[in-house]
A and B are shown apart, each in its own frame.
Chain A
């Protein structure tokens, strides 16, 4: 891999990160009001509010706040949340495992199922299964997320009480590690099912299109002519070719996981990063919102970079082109 190409990618990633940092800071400060202004309580006088603002550091000049913000972001010491007065890092870390478990398992399931269905559809052109996959994919990708989740919650938690209504554990927690794991899985089934249901359609359609295009390429014809079995042709050659865009898409959808979690968490009363972000944005909780946005940007930039690198490794044309410039 071309060293200058790598260096340039790293440099541009850093530039993007810097731009996002500044943008985040400005965006929040432009919003009218702050964490304290929306409190209407006759027992909380303007004097007390100003005292609170001083504790939050909001009474310092904007430039000073900006440098404090930059320092916090770079050292990963995000300070205290305005709303809860707890260290932002601790709050994020306590919520991250749950959200990650939920979103990564649903992404894994939806991508695996979607890819499998997409490949199957592309191999059975014109037949019933391709039509079904296309229809199912289109329909499930068109449903508004919250709608599906609420309907399934009502159906499977109330009408037929198969699953719990809320949360990620029973009250009180059952004893024994295996019981706890089982309880957790039982609670997470509905959210994961709904997310998978909503997600597999897009994967199936995309992979089907990719496979169809690839199967029509010359090299596949060549492989067939050489006498390879159909299985080898499909999985050894065609599928391998479409792996790079699949990996790219996978990496690129990682940042979107958190945004997607917002609605799921509110429907199923889960305590995750999504609700944290939502509360931070609506409550003008600058440290929390800033930290969350920053981490998301970081993850996105890293994923972008990894996607480019992965593509570069797999697709020699990209490297050569970049080298020629």
Chain B
């Protein structure tokens, strides 16, 4: 195998890039990926910047604030802070739109007021006389024009008006307001770890059982092959649900469960290879020379199986990644674990399809596709190395 050519393949380069992103990304990105970064279901920052507003924050004092607004309403209207006033005075907070004014609050009787107004609260909508179902921001920002917030009757105030926009982040936000790009980067780790380790473990299991069945033969062979049949007779998805229910949902439990159900194919191929090779003159010669069984197994047969194993690993990883995605999609994975399958599950559960929130669906979906393609290409390359007849078509990924 020509290492240089191998490393020059586009799929390998892409794989290395993804690995590096997956390892360095979490280190370089500040903050917790689970933190709320913006409004829920925000579009990516570069989408439709003519109409959709980005986030805007205004910090102001008792003199109030005013600004021009030329785009669609923001996602959330949030006013927080403190107001100091004479207890006898009636403090009014007034929001002026180009169409009318709204009295957001009317306070009296204290010297300090702590404010936590949010347009999503039912009480807020009711106080303003707005319909309880639907977004109040649509009424607070009816059109383009000048908007202002006034505080009447206060001595001094320290307020912040937060207007998280409908656009945020490189790839928008999810239903909780988390940055999708950050989640995507963190998800690389999980998908790769689960995919690769589940397949590696399954392959080693398969190799071990295949070798034992093929070389030792007899009862061991029958037993192992029957076990393979038994495991193949159990429908995978439902049994994964059952096992996930018993064992728990952590990362390594999923890896274990996936490996237990994927070693059968490899063991069969290894076994048939061993069966062919076992009778060959070269092995007979070794036996005639007095070689021990373990020596033959380790030094000769295992290297024989290595190419098949490598190819199987590369081709098995997409399967493992898709299985993990499928399990996560059914909600059976650890919610605290960020994985692309989980991102798709949450997108589906929380209505991204209905909302048309493509930024929640395409990145993880295409990410899974990309990873699968990379591994399939690697696997195909390895297969071609083993069996040169297969080469020729579609060299690059």
Contacts and interface: CB of A to CB of B under 8 A. Distances in A.
**Do A and B touch each other in the complex, judged by CB within 8 A?**
yes
Interface of A: 12-13, 15-17, 19-20, 23-24, 27-28, 30-32, 121, 125-127, 130-131, 134-135, 138-139, 141-147, 150-151, 153-154, 209, 212-213, 216, 252, 255-256, 258-259, 262-263, 277-278, 281-282, 289, 292-293, 296-297, 300-301, 304
Contact of B353 (A12, A15, A154, A263): A154
A206 to B, nearest CB: 11
Per DSSP, chain A at the interface is helix
B348 to A, nearest CB: 7
A186 B353 CA distance: 23
Interface string B369-393: 1111100110010010001011011
Scoring A17, A150, A256 by chain B CB atoms within 10 A of each residue's CB, the highest score goes to: A150
A144 B226 CA distance: 31
Given A23-B230, A213-B389, A263-B326, A139 B369 contact: yes
B353 A255 contact: no
A283 to B, nearest CB: 11
Nearest to A213: B389
B229 A301 contact: yes
Contact of A255 (B235, B371, B372): B235
26 contacts: A13-B229, A16-B226, A19-B230, A20-B233, A24-B234, A27-B243, A30-B246, A31-B246, A130-B392, A135-B394, A138-B397, A141-B318, A142-B369, A142-B372, A143-B365, A144-B329, A146-B344, A146-B348, A147-B365, A153-B353, A255-B235, A278-B241, A281-B238, A300-B232, A301-B233, A304-B229
A150 B357 CA distance: 13
Given A130-B394, A216-B389, A296 B329 contact: no
Given A134-B393, A147-B361, A142 B318 contact: yes
B306 interface: no
B110 interface: no
Interface in B240-275: 241-243, 245-246
Contacts of A292: 238
Given A16-B230, A31-B242, A259-B236, 5 more contacts: A13-B229, A141-B318, A150-B353, A209-B383, A281-B241
A158 B170 CA distance: 28
A256 B225 CA distance: 19
Contacts of B325: 144
B263 to A, nearest CB: 16
A52 B209 CA distance: 46
B351 to A, nearest CB: 11
Contacts, number: 140
A200 to B, nearest CB: 15
Contact of B239 (A27, A127, A141, A301): A27
Given A12-B222, A143-B369, A296 B233 contact: yes
B235 A277 contact: yes
Contact of A20 (B234, B237, B389, B397): B234
A262 B390 CA distance: 35
Nearest to B323: A144
A141 B376 contact: yes
A134 B369 CA distance: 15
B233 A300 contact: yes
A17 B230 CA distance: 7
Interface in B317-336: 318, 322, 325-326, 329-330
A259 B235 contact: yes
A12 B356 CA distance: 52
A255 B226 CA distance: 17
B149 to A, nearest CB: 40
A304 B264 CA distance: 14
Nearest to A131: B394
A70 B221 CA distance: 28
Contacts of B373: 138-139, 142
A272 to B, nearest CB: 14
A154 B371 CA distance: 25
Contact of B393 (A19, A131, A145, A213): A131
A113 B222 CA distance: 37
Contacts of B389: 212-213, 216
B180 interface: no
B368 interface: yes
Contacts of A20: 230, 233-234
Contacts of A293: 234-235, 238
Instruction: Name which of B229, B233, B318, B326 has the most chain A CB atoms within 10 A of its CB.
Output: B233
B341 interface: yes
Contacts of A296: 233-235
Nearest to A301: B233
A300 B234 CA distance: 8
Nearest to B242: A27
B392 A125 contact: yes
A122 to B, nearest CB: 9
Contacts of A289: 238
Between B236, B361, B370, B393, the greatest number of chain A beta carbons within 10 A of the residue's beta carbon is seen for B393
